[in-house]
Amino acid sequence: MGTIILTWNIQWGRGADGHVSIARQLPQAREMAEFDVLCLQEVTSGFGDLPGGPGSDQWTELADALGPEYTVIEGFALERHNGMHVQRFGNAIATRLPVHHIRRHALPCPADVTPYMPRMAIEATVQAPFGALRIITTHLEYYSERQRVAQIDALRAIHVEGCARADHPSVLGTEPEAGPFRPLAQTAATIICGDFNCKPDSTPKRLATVPFSQEPALHDAWEIAHGTTPQPPTFGVHDRTGWTEPAYACDFMLISDPLKPRVLRTEVNSTTQASDHQPMLLELRND
């Protein structure tokens, strides 16, 4: 058994039948594998008026359901206040691996005439059996390709910056070991995953894996494992409400060069109807 990372846009727990239940989704995720890292998109709090009526705080609900074995990391892309009523919409990482440190990145949203909502990425550096591993999960803009391209550029910049920190680690100097300047674990071993809201042959997806001048390249993990075999669709498979186009893949897992030889398998669960997206799994070799 290797290190298993699973990504899933859970649509605030809402299945194709319209019923909202994170308690239903987690066992279906575990049917794929006992994941070490679970990356979720479309997690909410304060959005009880969304279809199906999600609970008041799904990050807490997730933590309660997974138990103390897992650390749940929140990422609020949208935080809207209306007096005492606060609404949050975003992402989560749940992991049973030791967590070194966490960063949260607001992604750009250049002006466009389309509807949009703020987007962000959670970056968590964890200790996998083979060493430090940086997990970044995100949910890119749906309506605006201009914003998706800017967000891809930002994710690539986050990767480049992290690799530079790994190549040139900071030193403590005269700062105390117990203070905030203590150097953080750094690594070029990176996974960027989530709902990219674009098709495999789209411009944003193509730009995501353009080689860098020096830094370790990013690769599509599905292509590393399966070559030219197309990735199965991850959106529009079962929930066809208001959707007339064919189903397509838009949930991806990108990995950096150091992780290429560690890829054991990638899989898409095409059968579950617990969300409008299909979950995707990546297993990395530990030895």
* Residue 157 confidence (pLDDT): 98
- List the helix and strand counts (H, then E) for the chain: 5, 12
pLDDT tens-digit series, residues 169-198: 999 999 999 999 999 999 999 999 999 999
Which domains does the chain carry?
3-173+181-284 (3.60.10.10)
The confidence score (pLDDT) of residue 244 equals 85
Q: What is the pLDDT of residue 242?
A: 77
pLDDT at residue 240 in the model: 81
Q: According to the model, what pLDDT value does residue 1 have?
A: 85
pTM of the model as a whole: 0.97
* One pLDDT digit (tens) per residue for the chain, 287 residues: 899 999 999 999 999 999 999 999 999 999 999 999 999 999 999 999 999 999 999 999 999 999 999 999 999 999 999 999 999 999 999 999 999 999 999 999 999 999 999 999 999 999 999 999 999 999 999 999 999 999 999 999 999 999 999 999 999 999 999 999 999 999 999 999 999 999 999 999 999 999 999 999 999 999 999 999 999 999 999 988 777 889 999 999 999 999 999 999 999 999 999 999 999 999 999 99
Asked if 48 and 91 count as a contact pair (C-beta separation under 8 A), the reply is: no
Please give the pLDDT value at position 241: 78
Residue 49 is encoded by which pair of tokens? 């008026």
70: CB partners within 8 A, 6+ apart: 38, 63, 94, 95, 96
Which of 156-159's residues contact partners 24+ apart within 8 Å by CB, and which partners?
156/207, 156/208, 156/212, 156/218, 158/105, 158/121, 158/123, 159/190, 159/192, 159/215, 159/218, 159/256
Edge-to-edge strands of the sheet including 263-268?
71-82, 85-95, 37-45, 3-9, 280-284, 263-268
Q: Which DSSP state fits 98?
A: P
* pLDDT confidence of residue 268: 98
Q: For 2-35, what is each residue's pLDDT tens digit? A: 999 999 999 999 999 999 999 999 999 999 999 9
Q: What is the pLDDT of residues 121-137, one digit of tens each?
A: 999 999 999 999 999 99
* Dihedral-angle region of residue 158 (phi above 0 means left; psi in -120 to 50 means alpha; beta otherwise): alpha
